[in-house]
Amino acid sequence: MGGVKYCLPLLLLSLLIAECASRPLYTLPSLAKSGTKKPLQTSRPFNVAHRGANGEFPEETAPSYMRAIEEGADFIESDILSTKDGVLICHHDVNLDDTTDVADHKEFADRKRTYEVQGMNMTGFFTVDFTLEELKTLGAKQRYPFRDQQYNGKFQIITLDEYIAIALDATRVAGIYPEIKNPVFINQQVKWADGKKFEDKIVATLKKYGYKGSYMSKDWLKQPIFIQSFAATSLVYISNMTDSPKVFLIDDVTILTEDTNKTYAEITSDKYLDYIKPYVVGIGPWKDTIVPVDNNRLTTPTDLVARAHSRNLQVHPYTYRNENQFLHSGFHQDAYLEYDYWINKIGVDGLFTDFTGSLHNFQELTSPLPKLQ
């Protein structure tokens, strides 16, 4: 009885203190209701950070993506491949030679292999021959010698899950743009449980994190996504599994599709565009096939964009780079003039760029978003 007499005031006092004086519990920024995040802009062509801000950081690393978001990207883009143990990672090349320090790792010296990839023999250290644990011991490096080398060896390869986390943790709505990369090769080399294919695993991961909804739906605007691939059959295959918008990538005029062995002429024909249209919201061509180049000078544009637009297909060409060796003569070594041409003359709907900041700058200077009241 005496105990209760003492406890009760204490209890009441504790309650009082807890109520009045304690800190309010704010949810961490990234976990805030997505309705409070600054939304995706949809009034001007999409700024797609190709492999992150890889003009400045080694491609497809966490800093590369965070920098891209910081610089104003609408979407951060990535290529999905697989490890030996079936973990989905963000990496562009099927081999590790050009973008990691694998060659310096003596413990992996015997892992060099030769495989046939899209009809060509390739020798190197392949992602599918390393477990995730092993890949995580490697350091990413800047692919191009004329770009900043100071981060070489500092950052790791990241997984699809980690990439998604970067997008979801951003303080504004940042879209993702993952590519189902080399699915033919991956499915040959890696087997998943229950007979699941590479495409199945990717979609399962995306769904796990709540990616769903058709283009411009409420769900989509909360977590924007485009799923891209050079392999049309992969996009068709996943069309039943997810209503997320898909984009069909188109390679150079001489390259055949890896899954169906079709030519450029075939997959850009009216007939094919009519066929693929129910499955995709757009196409992603190599920009020098849209406007052919002769002696580093742009020639007359083809009608590809017009034919795509007439079918309500978006066009997101790749890839825009600031360095003068990538800029055609008419642009006077000025990447902004290139953006101007593609956005205002050709009228594309999105651009894959290595220099997110420059595209963002250009768009902010010439087509600033309307101010919120």
Partner 1 sequence: MILTKCLPLIWLSLVTLCAGRTLYQLPGKGVKDDTKQPIQTSRPFNIAHRGSNGEIPEETKAAYLRAIEEGTDFIETDILSSKDGVLICFHDVILDLTTDVASRKEFAGRNRTYDVQGFKITGFFTFDFTLKELKTLRTKQRYAFRDQQYNGKYPIITFEEFLAIARDAPRVVGIYPEIKNPVLMNQHVKWPGGKRFEDKVVETLKKHGYGGAYLSKQWLNKPLFIQSFAPSSLVYISNLTDSPKVLLIDDVTMPTQDTNQTYAEITSDTYFTYIKEYVVGIGPWKDTIVPVTNNYMLTPTDLVKRAHAHNLQVHPYTYRNENQFLHFNFSQDPYMEYEYWIKEIGVDGLFTDFTGSLHNYQEWASPLPDTSSKSTRQLLSHIASLVRPYAKA
Question: Could you list the residues that contact partner 1 (CB under 8 A)?
Answer: 42-44, 53, 55-56, 146-148, 150, 322-325, 329, 332-337, 355, 357-358, 361-362, 365-368, 370
Report strand pairing: 120-124 vs 113-117: antiparallel
Cβ atoms < 10 Å from Cβ of 302: 14
CA–CA gap between residue 272 and residue 250 (Å, rounded): 12
- Kindly state the smallest distance separating residue 333's Cβ from partner 1, in Å: 4
CB neighbour list of residue 369: distance below 8 Å, 6 or more residues apart? 41, 43, 44
Q: Where are the alpha helices (DSSP H) in the chain?
A: 2-20, 62-70, 132-135, 160-169, 183-189, 198-208, 218-222, 232-238, 264-267, 270-276, 287-290, 304-310, 335-340, 356-366
Minimum Å gap between C-beta 289 and partner 1 is 23
Smaller CB separation from partner 1, 310 or 333 = 333
* Min CB(151)–partner 1 separation in Å: 11
Pick 171 or 296: Cβ nearer partner 1? 296
8 A C-beta contact, residue 304 and residue 290: yes
Residue 54 vs 229, nearer CB to partner 1: 54
For partner 1, the closer of residues 17 and 216 by Cβ is 216
Task: Residue 85: name the closest of 47, 29, 129, 125 by CA.
Answer: 129
The DSSP element (H or E) to which 314 belongs, if any, is: strand 314-315
Nearest to 90 by CA among 163, 154, 189, 139: 163
Least Å distance, CB 336 to partner 1, is 6
CB nearer to partner 1: give 42 or 260. 42
Provide the token pair at 258. Answer: 């890896």
- Alpha-carbon gap, residue 369 to 335, rounded angstroms: 21
Q: How far is the CB of 300 from partner 1 (least distance, A)?
A: 18
Smallest gap from Cβ 355 to partner 1, in A, equals 6
- Give the residue with the Cβ less far from partner 1, 65 or 230: 65
